[in-house]
Amino acid sequence: MRRRDAPVLPEPGLADLAPDQRLRRLELTVTRRLDGLLHGQYRGLLPGPGSEAAGSREYRPGEDEVRRMDWAVTARTTVPHVREVDADRELTTWLLVDASPSMEYGTATLDKRELAVAAVAAIGFLTAGVGNRLGGQVLTPEGVRRFPARGGRTHLLGLLRALLGAPRTDGHRHAPPPTLADGLDGLHRVATRRGLVVVVSDFLDGLPDDPDATPAWETVVRRLAVRHQVLAVEVTDPRELELPDVGLVTLVDPETGRHREVWTGDPGLRERFAQAAAAQRDQVRHALRRSGATHLALRTDRDWSADIVRHVHAQRRLAAAPAAARGGAA
């Protein structure tokens, strides 16, 4: 029994728990809050067509993609036809997780890297199934750590432990760290079978100062989207979007180590910072849209599981809308 006047201690957050306890908490969150809402047999986080041939039908302008054109049937019938495909019964998911220094920042319940681990846990537990496999690559300051595509809960937990235990920046580097474009290029080489590609990052690496310029990673994402369903999970922190009035602060660039003292009491400075941060997020969003990736934005100060639920439900409504329209027209 607890005394009435005894203080009620707050429940420890994810960052306060040991690695195994954090994994258990993540698994329970996914099982209780997401599983059943999102998980269906042979379905991933992005509903869409598979790759197994299932016949052909006439081409519908404005609805069908030209790259699905069935040229053999079109030549025989002289009427444009597109290939029909069935959903794959086995799903291979490839992950690219950014564990660079910029992902070590956080001012809310989680830092950006811990939120990335939570996103990977949700994707891994939700896409787990008979025959489904999960592989990945982790970008760290020391290099790229690779995990082959395998099935099973043990493999997923090993990947999550590796993410939680990835080394943090110590300020000493012996070689240039791999870039996000390098990691995507390596993923493009190993992900030969059609499946789901998930990129978890803040997408700040390779982002040019000119908002009209192309980020270094956009071309590789576009190549991946030609063959795979690509989900880009953008991880941000509220202090990256707005600067609070806390007086004189020293800002440190985690990627370069440069320092700069800033007087945050200047309202003009805070406004310029917010406008520049918003423009940067718009630049990332437009680049992902141009590359054909689906964009999921997660913040360290928000309920990440609720954001994933809303995102996947919205994607399923979009996927069902063309089918419902075709049924009504018939």
pLDDT tens string 83-142: 776 445 577 889 999 988 888 888 888 889 889 999 998 888 887 776 788 999 998 888
Which one-letter amino acid corresponds to residue 223?
R
Residue 139 pairs with which residues in a beta bridge?
98, 144
Helix 153-164 / helix 19-29 crossing angle, nearest 10 deg: 130
Helix axes 218-227, 267-291, angle to 10 degrees: 40
Report how far residue 228's alpha carbon sits from residue 226's, in angstroms, rounded to the nearest whole number. Answer: 6
Q: Give the residue with greater pLDDT, 3 vs 251.
A: 251
Asked whether the predicted pLDDT for residue 29 surpasses 70, the reply is no
For 273-315, the pLDDT digits (tens) are 999 999 999 999 999 999 999 999 999 999 888 888 888 778 7
Rounded to whole angstroms, the Cα distance separating 269 from 282 reads 20
The CATH number that domain 92-236+290-318 falls under is 3.40.50.410
* The pLDDT of residue 175: 64
In this prediction, residue 68 carries a pLDDT of: 80
pLDDT score of 89: 54
Residue 143 is encoded by which pair of tokens? 């290099």
Each residue's pLDDT tens digit, 36-93: 555 444 444 555 555 545 567 888 887 777 778 888 888 888 888 887 764 455 778 8
The rounded radius of gyration (Å) of the Cα atoms in the chain is 22
**Distance spanning both ends of the chain, measured CA to CA:** 67
DSSP state of 107: S
Taking 3-state DSSP, the helix, strand and coil percentages for the chain, each rounded to the nearest 5, stand at: 40, 20, 40
Domain positions in the chain are 44-89, 92-236+290-318
**Which pLDDT tens digit goes with each residue over 146-173?**
999 888 888 888 888 888 877 776 655 5
Q: What is the pLDDT of residue 70?
A: 85
Q: Identify the three-state secondary structure at position 282.
A: helix
d(CA 82, CA 68): 5
